[in-house]
């Protein structure tokens, strides 16, 4: 009986870590996901990706918490050869010049990766080549949504309001170029403005500029994270988030509000400041929660979303107008992350949520 049940289990490979600035957040998300996966239904394989891009087999989730996984000597490879039928290959260099290689059949991959080289379509492309079902959005939706500039181009066509913006490229900042780029921004936008890397997450490299000096400093900071930079008008208002879940007929959750301890919800405010809080089902003006839900579903469909995403908005001060901010196709799964909290408010536990996400991977 136990043998038959073991054979019926699906093997889930959870990828975590990664080379992006959200490495630590990914590690926290992986722990939450692994704990939520029903061990009577799933065998779990852990693959950690170090900041310098090494892939390691991690034999215990506790090694993520104590960070001992970085010292592992077992490398992991997902072969792009679809003929291998979803096989994960581990290589353990036991002695110099020799290696023991084992191959483990994998039914599905849960890429608990945020940011570059994880949420941007690169890992999704590898898994497509390998023929392995995976949780979350596909290559197109991942790449589009990760790039804030191109997301704005898509949302413009929907007629949904968003912040006015100017794009700047890293190469423009050399020499006196930064001054010229700042002047171009000033022609279209008034201070204060927000400066963001086009491809980044968890507000890494984001700054607020109130004058030209701050703008140039912000452009150079953002350029450390991406070659494309987005400068946006500052929208004063409440920060509202909405979760989307599903495949052919995705549905949006209720909404949640971010009460940031800092001037804006940057990385430190999000993960290091205990004063930052989230409010589920906040009181909003009549009709605004439904407007946000419908906008979230439309944006998710427009980028060809699948599985999950968190869509972020502002409720503008003074007008109460809904303003789109950004979409995250692999939102955080930490203990303080809005995405699982919003679905828990709808009566869906973390265990049920990850089970549904895995099921959606197979449905695709």
Contacts of 175 (CB under 8 A, 6+ apart): none
Closest listed residue to residue 329, CA positions, set 299, 364, 294, 288: 299
Please tell me what DSSP assigns to residue 113: -
pLDDT value at residue 265: 47
Q: How many Å apart are CA 110 and CA 226, to the nearest integer? A: 26
Closest listed residue to residue 284, CA positions, set 275, 292, 276, 296: 292
- Residue environment code for 258-277, b if the CB has 16+ CB neighbours within 10 A, otherwise e: bebeeeebbbebbbeeeebe
Q: Are 265 and 226 in contact (CB under 8 A)?
A: no
Closest listed residue to residue 123, CA positions, set 226, 9, 17, 243: 17
Q: Provide φ and ψ at 134, rounded to 5°.
A: -145, 155
289-348: pLDDT as tens digits: 999 999 999 999 999 999 999 999 999 999 999 999 999 999 999 988 999 999 999 999
3-state SS of 214-263 is: HHHHHHHHHHCCCCEEEEEECCCEEEEEEEEEECCCCEEEEEEEEECCCC
Helix (H, G, I), strand (E, B) or coil at 167: strand
Q: How many Å apart are CA 119 and CA 19, to the nearest integer? A: 11
Q: Are 145 and 151 in contact (CB under 8 A)?
A: yes
pLDDT at 96 over 60: no
Confidence bin at 244 (pLDDT 50/70/90): very high
pLDDT value at residue 83: 81
pLDDT at 176 over 50: yes
Q: Which residue has the higher pLDDT, 21 or 265?
A: 21
β-pair partners for 169: 228
Q: Are 331 and 310 in contact (CB under 8 A)?
A: yes
Q: Provide φ and ψ at 323, rounded to 5°.
A: -125, 120
Q: Which residue has the higher pLDDT, 33 or 103?
A: 33
pLDDT value at residue 160: 97
pLDDT at 204 over 80: no
CA 75 from chain centre, in angstroms, equals: 25
Closest listed residue to residue 18, CA positions, set 62, 66, 43, 54: 54
Instruction: Enter the pTM of the model.
Output: 0.89
Cα 189–Cα 187–Cα 233 angle in degrees, nearest 5: 10
Q: Are 333 and 339 in contact (CB under 8 A)?
A: yes
pLDDT value at residue 94: 56
Name the burial class of residue 53, with classes exposed (0-12), middle (13-18) and buried (19+) by CB atoms within 10 angstroms of its CB: exposed
Helices within 66-107 (DSSP H only): none
Confidence bin at 154 (pLDDT 50/70/90): very high
Closest listed residue to residue 353, CA positions, set 35, 15, 26: 35
List domains and CATH numbers for the chain.
Answer: 2-134 (3.40.50.20), 145-161+236-363 (3.30.470.20), 165-233 (3.30.1490.20)
Q: Are 78 and 126 in contact (CB under 8 A)?
A: yes
Q: Are 331 and 256 in contact (CB under 8 A)?
A: no
**Phi/psi zone of residue 293: left (φ > 0), alpha (ψ -120 to 50 degrees), beta?**
alpha
Using CA of residue 69, residue 75, residue 76, residue 77, what is the dihedral sign? positive
């Amino acid at each position: 009986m136990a043998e038959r049940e073991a054979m019926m289990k699906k093997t889930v490979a959870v990828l975590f870590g990664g080379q992006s600035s959200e490495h630590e957040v990914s590690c926290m998300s992986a722990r939450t996901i692994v704990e939520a996966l029903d061990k009577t239904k799933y065998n779990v394989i852990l693959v950690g990706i170090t900041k310098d891009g090494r892939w390691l087999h991690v034999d215990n989730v506790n090694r993520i918490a104590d960070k001992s996984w970085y010292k592992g000597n077992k490398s992991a490879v997902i072969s792009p050869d679809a003929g291998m039928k979803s096989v994960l290959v581990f290589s353990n260099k036991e002695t110099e010049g020799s290696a023991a290689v084992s191959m483990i059949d994998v039914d599905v991959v849960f890429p608990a990766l945020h940011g570059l080289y994880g949420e941007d379509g690169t890992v999704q492309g590898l898994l497509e080549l390998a023929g392995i079902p995976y949780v979350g959005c596909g290559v197109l939706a991942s790449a589009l949504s990760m790039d804030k500039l191109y997301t704005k181009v898509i949302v413009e066509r929907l007629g949904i309001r968003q912040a006015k913006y100017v794009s700047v490229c890293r190469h423009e900042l050399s020499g006196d170029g930064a001054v010229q780029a700042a002047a171009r921004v000033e022609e279209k936008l008034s201070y204060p403005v927000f400066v963001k890397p086009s491809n980044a997450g968890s507000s890494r490299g984001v700054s607020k500029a109130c004058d030209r000096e701050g703008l140039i400093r912000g452009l150079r900071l953002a350029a450390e994270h991406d070659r494309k930079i987005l400068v946006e008008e500052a929208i004063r208002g409440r920060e509202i988030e909405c979760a989307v879940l599903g495949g052919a007929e995705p549905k949006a959750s209720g909404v949640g509000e971010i009460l940031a301890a800092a001037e804006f919800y940057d990385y430190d405010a999000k993960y290091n400041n205990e004063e930052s809080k989230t409010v589920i089902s906040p009181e909003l003006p009549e009709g605004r929660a439904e407007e946000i839900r419908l906008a979230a579903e439309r944006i998710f469909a427009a980028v060809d979303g699948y599985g999950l995403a968190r869509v972020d908005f502002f409720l503008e001060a003074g007008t109460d107008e809904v303003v789109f901010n950004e979409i995250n196709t692999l939102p955080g799964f930490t203990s303080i992350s809005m995405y699982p909290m919003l679905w828990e408010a709808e009566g869906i536990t973390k265990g049920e949520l990850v089970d549904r996400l895995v099921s959606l991977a197979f449905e695709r």
